[in-house]
Amino acid sequence: MTLSDRVKSDIGFLGDALMPGPYQCYLCDEEDLIGEDGLCDKCRAKLKYLPNPTYLAPLDGITVGLQYSDEISAAVMRFKKLGQTEYAGFFTQFLSVPKEWNADILVPVPMHPLKKWIRRFNHTELLASYLSHATGIPYSSVLLRKNRFTFEQKKLYDPAERRKNIRGSFTADPSVKGLRIVLIDDVFTTGATVYECAKTLKRAGAEKVYLSAVTSPTH
């Protein structure tokens, strides 16, 4: 049985193009001399790539792209809060999935359906779709669902509060059994959310759960 027979993977690419534009720098709106990465020379020179952070069970590995900065933070806000979906292509270039993970499927960190309805899209789903398009690894936004509305994690400063807030708020589809899954997220902070996602997937029988995130402020 092939993977697509076994799991509900999404069909089709959610984006219009891999990198729409770029007519302006994605980080500073500079209009001249923009490279294929969507950046001006000044912003490109300022980017700091991060070593892969240490991780704890139940995660089996993490990759992060960029060091968080004011510019990256502003770009993330434009993407997920202001609905500038062209940032999906821009941010996807900083996501990576190591070959040795032998990933079966990409799974975006889910958003509660009500929040998705309000925002009109889930930004991590867009990232997963773009990364799937770039890597050929399928993605699914139905294998893991958020079934409880929670406070925004970034508004909770105490790590124990963050863990409590998110506990038990996800449900995994039984078809994740035996799969090597890569969770896709934008910002990796304390990890409370992705650890809860990984726990839920492992309990449902996932073989491995990794995380690929665009940026991290804490490592």
Which residue among 14, 25, 72, 95 contacts Zn ion (CB under 5 A)? 25
Closest to Zn ion by CB, 8 or 48: 48
Contact 131, 184 (CB under 8 A): yes
**CB-nearer residue toward Zn ion: 30 or 37:** 30
Closest by CA to 191, choosing from 209, 169, 218, 170, is 218
Q: Does 27 bind Zn ion (CB under 5 A)?
A: yes
Q: Return the exposure string of 149-160: e unless at least 16 CB atoms fall within 10 Å of the residue's CB, then b.
A: ebeebeebeeee
Q: Please pick, from the candidates 6, 15, 30, 61, the single residue that binds Zn ion as defined by CB under 5 A.
A: 30
Any contact of residue 43 with Zn ion (CB under 5 A)?
Answer: yes
In angstroms, what is the minimal distance from the CB of 24 to Zn ion?
A: 8
Angle 30-119-212 (CA atoms, 0-180°, nearest 5)? Answer: 70
Q: Select the span of 6-14, 21-29, 140-148, 173-181 touching Zn ion (CB under 5 A).
A: 21-29
User: Of the two residues 16 and 31, which places its CB atom closer to Zn ion in the complex?
Assistant: 31
Taking the complex as a whole, the smallest distance from the CB of residue 214 to Zn ion amounts, in Å, to 17
CB 109 within 8 A of CB 143: no
Helix axes 159-166, 192-203, angle to 10 degrees: 40
As measured in angstroms, the least distance from the Cβ of 46 to Zn ion is 8
Other beta carbons less than 10 A from residue 54's beta carbon: 7
Query: How many residues in the shown chain lie near Zn ion by CB under 5 A?
Result: 6
Rounded to a whole number of angstroms, the minimum distance from the CB of residue 26 to Zn ion is 7
Question: Interface with Zn ion includes 173 (CB under 5 A)?
Answer: no
CA–CA separation, 20 and 38 (whole Å): 9
Q: Does 75 bind Zn ion (CB under 5 A)?
A: no
- Do 203 and 172 contact (CB within 8 A), yes or no? yes
Min dist CB 82 to Zn ion, Å, is 18
What residues make contact with Zn ion under the rule CB under 5 A?
25, 27-28, 30, 40, 43
